[in-house]
Structure 1
């Protein structure tokens, strides 16, 4: 508020104009939303970078339990998008992206207590005619520490009938690249 009127009531005044934001001139790199590639490869599947923000933490300072599957979902979306699959609002044209989740299972291994850069280790455990089972770990950016692991079962559906329908050959080929080898499955079970 600015100066007063005769009766002492304040009179609103306009805020001074803000100076335009100057372009960055420091030596720091610009902020980027480009995906970061993990430094360390994994023996099967793929590590996809994810970011945990401060507001993802709960009142105890741990990643909220509902955020684990959300981060994994975003990693899967990025993985498929990078390979030319996407959804633009038209279910009839969505093809293999027209799928529904039948089951999600998450096992929380240890608390994740800091915002920062992490990874989702993604693989496919089973690829069927109309369904598939994704395996995942939410882990450190280099894949060495596991915070949670689980799986998600998807079913490809026809957009009009909402009934199971087969995956396309293209999707099957793309998915086959992430199939976990039997030896890895046996080692993980031990």
Structure 2
């Protein structure tokens, strides 16, 4: 008898990316440390873009769309994470501009049903030489459009 492969959790928009909370992510009270949430979100964001071949390998000139910087981060904590294990980060784009974007996120249970934290982050694409805002590539924009949250 073979076990069935687990199915990916369904979300109405964006993607759920699995992340693992380890013992050393917890604070002295045994809760996921508040500073670890943005780190886990960053890990999920990096994994998502690596799936599309967008990544940084130490060369800013070759980084293309991976040459970007955080302009703003907002996060609210809704329920404590009290144990290690596999969770998920739900990622989507709120806005995709010429040189910047805003993405939304939820740190949630593996199936996306329970939300522990939510927020948004603004990124700006940078020119590798001047470090001034630069346009996203059309390839990046095409992937980004797939991640845009539908308007209500």
Q: TM-score, length-normalised on structure 1? A: 0.76
Between 1 and 2, higher relative CO (CA 8 Å, sep ≥ 6) is seen in: 2
Over 4 Å off, 4+ runs? none
Q: Which runs of 5+ in 1 are unaligned?
A: 1-35, 184-190
What residue number does 2:19 align with? 50
- What is the deviation of 1:139? 0.1
Q: Is 1:132 aligned to 2:132, yes or no? A: no
Match for 1:105 among 59, 74, 80? 74
Instruction: Supply the distance in 1 between the matched residues of 2:6 and 2:53 (Cα, whole angstroms).
Output: 18
SS of 2:147's partner is coil
Instruction: Supply the distance in 2 between the matched residues of 1:111 and 1:38 (Cα, whole angstroms).
Output: 26
Q: Kindly indicate whether the alpha-carbon contact (under 8 Å) linking 1:56 and 1:67 is maintained by their aligned counterparts in 2.
A: yes
Task: Specify which structure has the higher proportion of strand.
Answer: 2
- What is the deviation of 1:38? 5.9
Q: Which runs of 5+ in 2 are unaligned?
A: none
- What is the deviation of 1:39? 3.0
- What is the deviation of 1:88? 1.1
**CA distances 1:100-128 after superposition (whole Å, capped 9, x unpaired):** 00001110001000000000000000000
What residue number does 1:164 align with? 133
Q: Kindly indicate whether the alpha-carbon contact (under 8 Å) linking 1:38 and 1:49 is maintained by their aligned counterparts in 2.
A: no
What residue number does 1:147 align with? 116
Instruction: Supply the distance in 2 between the matched residues of 1:37 and 1:134 (Cα, whole angstroms).
Output: 27
**CA distances 1:25-73 after superposition (whole Å, capped 9, x unpaired):** xxxxxxxxxxx97632100000000000011000111000000000000
